[in-house]
Amino acid sequence: MTQIIDGKAISAAIKDELKAEVESLKGEGTQICLAVIQVGNDPASAVYVGNKKKACAYIGIDSLAYELPEETTQEELLKLIAELNDKGEVNGILVQLPLPDHIDEDEVIRAIDPKKDVDGFHPQSVGALCIGQPGFVSCTPAGIIQLLKRSGIEIAGKECVVIGRSNIVGKPMALLLLRENGTVTVAHSKTKNLQEITKRADILVVAVGRPKMITREYVKEGAVVIDVGIHRNENNKLCGDVDYDDVAPICSAITPVPGGVGPMTIAMLMHNCVEAGTRR
């Protein structure tokens, strides 16, 4: 029987654990606060920002919302980040991506104090992950490690294949699996014989950004399949990078879309905020 990895239930459990931790921190006089900056009015970003505010409210984290107009300049945004870096009561700073084209995303990410970089995108956070030092980890891959661990799936010694090498998913995912003692291969658009490589995987993480690309021809019987993709199909229904109906019957465990990896991202953001507060 295929195990359906329930990201909704696991993320709810993490949020409840964090809620209890925040409550006890409050008792010790520590209040955690996340500043969320959104530039422009991209509707998808507005939904993500709204969900982050809701999660903060549920857990008991204060959230400060900065909704800046589309025409905000790079200098104005950097000035706001500098102010938030200096504000003792702000523990985490999150700039919702993507930013408008006239703003240099890399420079904005670099401007965030690494101690407040709850998205884990700052080069210092990424470097720390790479050399095994403490630092914030990108939320989606960190959430996937939690999904695996809390579903009783062993990573050490397993053949792990990650499809995708983006800075926010693929690369940190590979580093985290390595940290958990997996044997890791990263595939990308220039990879030759992709099916041959993915068929070796005991744990296959798919972050390719192509709806339903991964069919059972790519998957070893009994593998664990983690689907990071989120797309809307022709009927406006959500689907992933994996052809779930085709793949689920042959694997030992799989994440559905929706309800798999998606809910974990916000849970891990909340985790990083609490960590930022306790590190202080």
What's the Cα-to-Cα distance from 36 to each of 45, 76, 126, 167, 204, rounded to whole Å?
Answer: 11, 15, 21, 21, 33
Among residues 202 and 241, whose Cβ is nearest to ligand NDP? Answer: 241
Closest listed residue to residue 165, CA positions, set 191, 145, 129, 183: 191
Answer for which of 94, 163, 203, 242 binds ligand NDP (CB under 6 A) is 163
Specify whether 52 is catalytic: yes
Among residues 194 and 248, whose Cβ is nearest to ligand NDP? Answer: 194
Shortest Å distance, C-beta 88 to ligand NDP: 31
**Is residue 12 part of the contact set for ligand NDP (CB under 6 A)?**
no
In terms of DSSP bridges, do strands 203-206 and 159-163 run parallel, antiparallel, or are they unpaired? parallel
Beta bridge partners of 93: 35
**Is residue 172 part of the contact set for ligand NDP (CB under 6 A)?**
no
**Is residue 93 part of the contact set for ligand NDP (CB under 6 A)?**
no
Choosing from 15, 52, 115, 212, the catalytic residue is 52
Answer for which of 92, 120, 170, 182 binds ligand NDP (CB under 6 A) is 170
Choosing from 117, 119, 202, 227, the catalytic residue is 119
Specify whether 74 is catalytic: no
Q: Which of residues 225-264 bind ligand NDP (CB under 6 A)?
A: 228-230, 241, 261-262
φ and ψ of 149, to 5 deg: -65, -45
Among residues 48 and 58, whose Cβ is nearest to ligand NDP? Answer: 48
**Is residue 2 part of the contact set for ligand NDP (CB under 6 A)?**
no
Dist. CA 248–CA 203, nearest whole Å: 14
Site string for ligand NDP, 27-56 (x = CB under 6 A): ------------------------------
Specify whether 149 is catalytic: no
Shortest Å distance, C-beta 25 to ligand NDP: 26
Q: Are 161 and 197 in contact (CB under 8 A)?
A: yes
Shortest Å distance, C-beta 179 to ligand NDP: 19
Dist. CA 6–CA 10, nearest whole Å: 6
**Is residue 96 part of the contact set for ligand NDP (CB under 6 A)?**
no
Dist. CA 267–CA 56, nearest whole Å: 10
Angle between the N-to-C axes of helices 139-150 and 7-27, in degrees from 0 to 180, rounded to the nearest 10: 110
Cβ count near 208 (within 10 Å):
24
Q: Are 95 and 65 in contact (CB under 8 A)?
A: no
Choosing from 96, 115, 158, 227, the catalytic residue is 96
Q: Are 48 and 103 in contact (CB under 8 A)?
A: no
Q: Are 120 and 136 in contact (CB under 8 A)?
A: yes
Closest listed residue to residue 11, CA positions, set 151, 134, 174: 151
Among residues 68 and 97, whose Cβ is nearest to ligand NDP? Answer: 97
Site string for ligand NDP, 184-213 (x = CB under 6 A): ---xxxxx--x------------xxxx---
Site for ligand NDP, rule CB under 6 A? 140, 163-166, 168-170, 187-191, 194, 207-210, 228-230, 241, 261-262, 265
Catalytic residues: 52, 96, 119
